[in-house]
Amino acid sequence: MGYTVERRLGSGGFGAVYLASLDGQRAALKFLDLSRVKDRVEREVSILLRLSHPNVVGIRGLGYWPSAAPEFAVIAMEFVEGRELGTWANEENPSARQVARMVLDVARALAASHEAGVIHRDVKEANVMVRADGVAKLVDFGVGDYEGAREITSDVLPPGTPDYRSPEAWTYFRQNVKVPGACYEPGPSDDLWALGVVLYVLLTTHRPFEGEHFTLPDVVIANAAVSPREVNERVPEALSDVCLRLLAKTPDTRTPSAQALYVELEAALQRADDAWDVPLCDAYGEDTATTDGGPDKDDDLGGLEEWVNELRKRPRRGKRPQKKKPLPLADGGTATERVQGRVG
């Protein structure tokens, strides 16, 4: 393919991604082990070729390495220089307006994908990159699907991240786990549910549903999410309501489409007041670099009440301040050492 590899960007269970350049243009090269994901490589390339949108990562080409006896497929993609969405939120302590704009970008990406018959199937913070100019891009369609594609998995549930699976997916799993040949087919509403989980995390720093590997499905199926505004009073009511509609228990009651979500967010932003510009979390200070916001935990509280209070404790976000280094003295010691030497 002619690229010069510069450094590794990351790795996973099926391969690794490298930063590379060709004729002065940078790209991300995704190396995938053909012995494990040959069919999945063809699927991902087919998906990316169907999509061309400012908020979706672009494809540059496909090759195989080494050329004589290929062991890896190499997908050359647009290099998105930036941070994962979760990292961006933790470092920048965004306001509601900033969060809404990020989710708006993802809604645009999903609207274009769904219009092309593509389902991402793994929408989460780690699969959204935020560039320095504030544009969010949806990346990693490696477990995605599209209309008319042949089935390449035999499991009841397709690949994905459990914490972001919809209640209808878990219900299907519970009802069909022992049925031979049963295979759940996610649709646009599954992507929207996952985006609702992402929005909830951005607004509150908590996932809407918590559970262990075996209990999570029942938690998602049986429980309604606590309102983001109830968890974090800085969340505007309109944005909290948008999030809860994405997390409605059935596709029929959920936000109907990514395009509808886009329109809804645009309207909410147009009506937004100054409260939308307040950071959603407390910032770190020099004396709080390792603590969360809110009162200290009361050891006398019962388990449930303690859990609820912990959930509603507003956390801290943003860059942690650097501790100031003691000033050096002429004798080679420091001011801190001089004071400590006088104690006692």
Task: Please choose, from the candidates 14, 36, 17, the residue with its C-alpha nearest in 3D space to the C-alpha of residue 28.
Answer: 17
Q: How far apart are CA 301 and CA 291, in angstroms?
A: 20
Q: Residue 113's Cα: distance from chain center in Å? A: 17
Q: How far apart are CA 265 and CA 325, in angstroms?
A: 45
Three-state secondary structure call for residue 282: strand
Per the omega criterion (within 30 degrees of 0), is the bond before 66 cis? yes
Three-state secondary structure call for residue 174: helix
Query: Do the strands 72-78 and 59-65 form a parallel or antiparallel pair, or are they unpaired?
Result: antiparallel
Query: Do the strands 15-22 and 4-11 form a parallel or antiparallel pair, or are they unpaired?
Result: antiparallel
For the annotated binding site for ATP, the residues are 30
Sign of the dihedral through C-alpha 244, 273, 235, 80 = positive
Q: Is 256 exposed, middle or buried (0-12, 13-18, 19+ CB in 10 A)?
A: middle
Three-state secondary structure call for residue 309: helix
For the annotated binding site, the residues are 30
Could you give the dihedral angle defined by the CA atoms of residues 299, 302, 304 and 309, in that order, rounded to the nearest 10 degrees? Answer: -40
Task: Please choose, from the candidates 159, 121, 131, the residue with its C-alpha nearest in 3D space to the C-alpha of residue 57.
Answer: 131
Task: Please choose, from the candidates 170, 172, 152, 165, the residue with its C-alpha nearest in 3D space to the C-alpha of residue 191.
Answer: 165
Q: Are 120 and 113 within 8 A, CB to CB? A: yes
